[in-house]
Amino acid sequence: MDRPRIGDWRGYAELTRLQDVHLAEALRVAARSPFYRARGDVPTNRAELRQVALTTKRDLRDAYPFGLLAVDRAELATYHESSGSSGAPTSSYYTAGDWLDLAERFARKRIAIEPSDMFLVRTPYALMITGHLAHAAARMCGATVVPADNRSLAMPYSRVVRVLRDLDVTVTWSLPTDTLLWAAAAAAAGARPDRDFPALRALFVGGEPLSPARRDRIAALWGAPVVEEYGATETGSLAGECPCGRLHLWADRALFEVYDPLTGRTAPEGRGQLVVTPLFREAMPLLRYNMEDEVEVAYGACGCGWSLPTVRVLGRTAFQSRAGGVPLTQTGLEELVFGLPAEFGVLFWRARAASSHLRVEIEVAEPHRAPAVAALVAAVGRTYGIDAEVVGVPPGRLVPLSLLTASADVMKPRGLFREDEDWDKALSYY
Ligand SMILES: [Zn+2]
């Protein structure tokens, strides 16, 4: 099947025609899925699709493991899971054909992946798709992959720093938070991120909401541009940055709607929950899948000329809290913390919102502690109109130094030990 590439359409009218062509096939695939067949008539065009009930995360959990499967199991290339807050697994599965679309979407970066790149993949490989996505995209582009994972005892932060430097890593893929931890680990090892890693030319990040101030701080810390990405294990990459630095939805590869949970209506743009219908799926069709991420979508002109809607990702609605009757989001608070002057060196923070009280802790060394605390109290007051309790804690309190300096300690199973060795770990080889 011919997958569109950026530049294949001129303007939104052409994009819509392109979507309709591929939607017809996507709906034929959905008709082969037991889940959608059981729901009754599968739609055959865009107008009918609009009448279809949204597919929810709950639906995917209930369909565990293969309720949506539209091909023979032998055709599957990979199986993945993500787990929500309930702990119940959500399955995703892809054919080799699906993987072409997945890798191409991820590879759409304003800083292209090159064959000469040394690409550190620092997101999980276990069950989730994120590590495999970056791995496949980097391989497709001819880059050298360093498969580092981030949930493995084999790859503590000290080792990440060593690999970044010794291998002249040029591009990385991780959570934004991880790049801050590498910076702290580099500092703990006596290195300076913006000076001692000259090969590094881009930090690809995703998987977490990222406020503009934190993004700017990460770029400044490393002296390399931060390139954002948005997606999920069930969908792969859904949006990436254009050369103008704005996040665009891949609307040539999926249909997008914005859902208002209060009215139950969807619209092409505006603020609400993002709903997606991927257009190039073989194994696991999804019709109007509600990502349950709060977003703001707009169809305007952008200097890149891509003619793809822009999106601002505001995060999971469930992550919102209230303090003193005022709604707070993590991204909103983060913007204030990283809006503090860089010389204060505040990289790590946490906050607890109670009904009448907001407590924020920031890691900050003397002599910056008192001015940092005062500045943050003032910023929260200005933004939210509440009196926050801000506490400056010494570095190491929120992120222990031992986490940043620990070295790899991975054993293999053994049966035979010398008498001076600890044999209690004979089979717990982790
Ligand atoms: Zn753009």
Place of tokens 């309720």: 67
CA of 206 to the centre of ligand 1 (A): 18
Cα–Cα distance, 346 to 369 (Å, whole number): 10
Cα–Cα distance, 94 to 102 (Å, whole number): 9
Q: Quick one: pLDDT at residue 319?
A: 57
CA of 221 to the centre of ligand 1 (A): 25
Q: Quick one: pLDDT at residue 413?
A: 79
Query: Count of CB atoms within 10 A of residue 184's CB?
Result: 23
Give the C-alpha distances (Å, rounded to integers) separating 167 from 93, 144, 170, 182: 33, 11, 9, 15
Helix (H, G, I), strand (E, B) or coil at 233: coil
CA of 274 to the centre of ligand 1 (A): 19
CA of 89 to the centre of ligand 1 (A): 35
CA of 32 to the centre of ligand 1 (A): 36
Q: Quick one: pLDDT at residue 317?
A: 56
Q: Is 298 left (phi over 0), alpha (psi -120 to 50) or beta?
A: beta
10-residue mean pLDDT profile of the chain (430 residues): values are 92 97 97 95 95 96 97 98 82 98 98 98 96 98 96 90 98 98 97 98 94 97 97 97 96 98 96 97 98 94 96 73 83 95 97 91 98 98 95 97 84 83 71
Nearest to residue 182, comparing CAs of 198, 161, 164, 165? 161
Q: Domain spans of the chain?
A: 320-399
Q: Quick one: pLDDT at residue 409?
A: 66
What does DSSP assign to residue 268? S
CA of 365 to the centre of ligand 1 (A): 40
Q: What is the 3-state secondary structure (H, E, C) of 64-111?
A: CCCCCCCCCHHHEEEEEEEECCCCCEEEEEEEHHHHHHHHHHHHCCCC
Structure tokens at 221: 């810390």
CA of 11 to the centre of ligand 1 (A): 13
CA of 322 to the centre of ligand 1 (A): 34
Strand ranges across the sheet with 270-278:
144-147, 118-121, 171-174, 202-205, 226-232, 236-241, 247-249, 310-316, 289-298, 270-278, 254-260, 265-267
> In this structure, what are the phi and psi dihedrals at residue 153, rounded to the nearest 5 degrees?
-65, -15
CA of 234 to the centre of ligand 1 (A): 25
CA of 79 to the centre of ligand 1 (A): 33
Cα–Cα distance, 132 to 140 (Å, whole number): 12
CA of 301 to the centre of ligand 1 (A): 8
Q: Quick one: pLDDT at residue 204?
A: 98
CA of 239 to the centre of ligand 1 (A): 11
CA of 230 to the centre of ligand 1 (A): 15
Question: Beta-strand (E) ranges in 156-206?
Answer: 171-174, 202-205
CA of 118 to the centre of ligand 1 (A): 27
CA of 310 to the centre of ligand 1 (A): 7
Write down the CATH superfamily of domain 320-399. ANL, C-terminal domain (3.30.300.30)
CA of 245 to the centre of ligand 1 (A): 7
CA of 417 to the centre of ligand 1 (A): 61
CA of 304 to the centre of ligand 1 (A): 4
User: Is 100 within 8 Å of 94 (Cβ atoms)?
Assistant: no
Name residues whose C-beta falls within 8 Å of residue 372's C-beta, 6 or more positions apart in sequence.
340, 344, 346, 362, 364, 392
Place of tokens 């952008």: 302
CA of 5 to the centre of ligand 1 (A): 15
CA of 308 to the centre of ligand 1 (A): 8
Peptide bond into 198 cis (omega under 30): no
CA of 12 to the centre of ligand 1 (A): 14
Place of tokens 């996505």: 133
CA of 17 to the centre of ligand 1 (A): 21
CA of 278 to the centre of ligand 1 (A): 21
CA of 235 to the centre of ligand 1 (A): 22
User: Is 83 within 8 Å of 124 (Cβ atoms)?
Assistant: no
Place of tokens 């913006």: 194
Cα–Cα distance, 166 to 8 (Å, whole number): 41
CA of 303 to the centre of ligand 1 (A): 6
